Amino acid sequence: MKIAVISDIHGNLDALQAVLLDIKNRGIKEIYNLGDSLYGPLFPIETYRLLVKEKIQSIRGNCDRILLDSDTDNATVQYVQDLLGEDQKEWISNLPFSLETEDFYFCHGTPSSDVGYLLEEMSPNGSMLKKTEDIMELVKGISQNIIFCAHTHIPRVVYLPNHKIVINPGSVGLPAYEDELPIYHKMESGSPYGNYTIVTKQEDECFIEQILIPYNRDEAIRQSEKNGRSDWVKALQTGRV
C-alpha cells in the first residue's frame, strides 16, 4: 500500500500541479489532502478545480473554515470570498474535519482542533517540539498507528513510545508564515520547494519519504505582489519570513 499526503496548498496552483505530477509519475493513486486549500492571495478557484478534477480526498483546515465567515476584515480572506461561487462554498462546507482508514488517521491541526499544533509548541524563543507525553495525550483516542497532521507548514516525523508515528507533510504552497496567536511566532521551512509525504506500508512496516518538489514560482510571486502581500513574496522566494 502506498499513499501520498499533501496539505496547506493555499491557492498555489503551480505548486499543486508540480506535486501532483510527481505523485502521478511515481504511480501513486491514493492521495489525501489535509486542508487549507484555497486561502491566500493566489489562485483559489483554479486550485479548487484541480482538486475536484483529480478527486483528491480532502479535509477542512482552519483557513478553509474562515472562508465561510461572513464577518471579516481580513483583506486576503475577502479577496478569496469575492471569487468563490456556490460550488466552491458548498465544497468547503462539506469538507470533513478528519478522515481515517484502517491504517491512517488524518487531521489538520490536532484530533480535536483545526487551530491547535499537534507537534509544536510556541514560546518567546520560537517553535519547539512538544514533550512526548503531551503529544501522546493529544492522540490517545486514535487507534491508528500512523497519524497525519498539518497546519504548521513544517515537515516533521515524530515516533512515540507507544509505536505510533505522527507525520506532518509540510506545505505544498506556502513554505513560511508568521502568526500572532497563541503568541507571535514564525514558521519557516527554509526551502521554497513544495512539500509532501509518501508512506509505503509493507506488512507491519511503514516507509516514510518526505519529498521536496521544485516548481516555477513566478506566477505565484507576481500574484502575491499584485495583492499587496510582500510577506508571501518573501516566503515563496526563500522559505523564510
Share of the chain above pLDDT 70, in %: 99
Q: pLDDT digits over 100-131, tens only?
A: 999 999 999 999 999 999 999 987 777 899 99
pLDDT category at 134 given cuts 50, 70, 90 is very high
Report helix, strand or coil for 88: helix
pLDDT category at 179 given cuts 50, 70, 90 is confident
Whether residue 180 has pLDDT greater than 80: yes
Domain spanning 2-238: which superfamily?
Metallo-dependent phosphatases (3.60.21.10)
Q: Tell me what pLDDT residue 28 has.
A: 98
Share of the chain above pLDDT 90, in %: 90
178 conformational bin, left if phi > 0, alpha if psi -120 to 50, beta if neither? beta
How many residues are present in the chain?
241
Q: What is the rounded CA–CA span in Å between residue 37 and residue 34?
A: 8
Report residue 19 CA to chain centroid gap: 13
Q: Report, as an integer, the average pLDDT of 171-200.
A: 94
Residue that wins the pLDDT comparison between 123 and 224: 224
Q: Tell me what pLDDT residue 53 has.
A: 98
Q: What is the rounded CA–CA span in Å between residue 19 and residue 194?
A: 7
Backbone dihedral angles phi then psi of residue 233, each to the nearest 5 degrees? -55, -50
pLDDT category at 174 given cuts 50, 70, 90 is very high
* Domain assignments of the chain as residue spans, ordered by start: 2-238
Q: Tell me what pLDDT residue 73 has.
A: 85
Q: Which of 15, 2, 61, 14 lies closest to 212 in space, CA to CA?
A: 15
Q: pLDDT digits over 22-52, tens only?
A: 999 999 999 999 999 999 999 999 999 999 9
The reply to whether the predicted model has a pTM over 0.95 is yes
Q: Tell me what pLDDT residue 70 has.
A: 78
Q: Report, as an integer, the average pLDDT of 195-214.
A: 95
Average per-residue pLDDT for the chain: 96
C-alpha cell at 193: 520547494
pLDDT category at 93 given cuts 50, 70, 90 is very high
Q: Are strands 194-202 and 2-6 parallel, antiparallel or unpaired?
A: antiparallel
Q: What is the Cβ-side half-sphere exposure of residue 138, based on CA atoms within 13 angstroms? A: 24
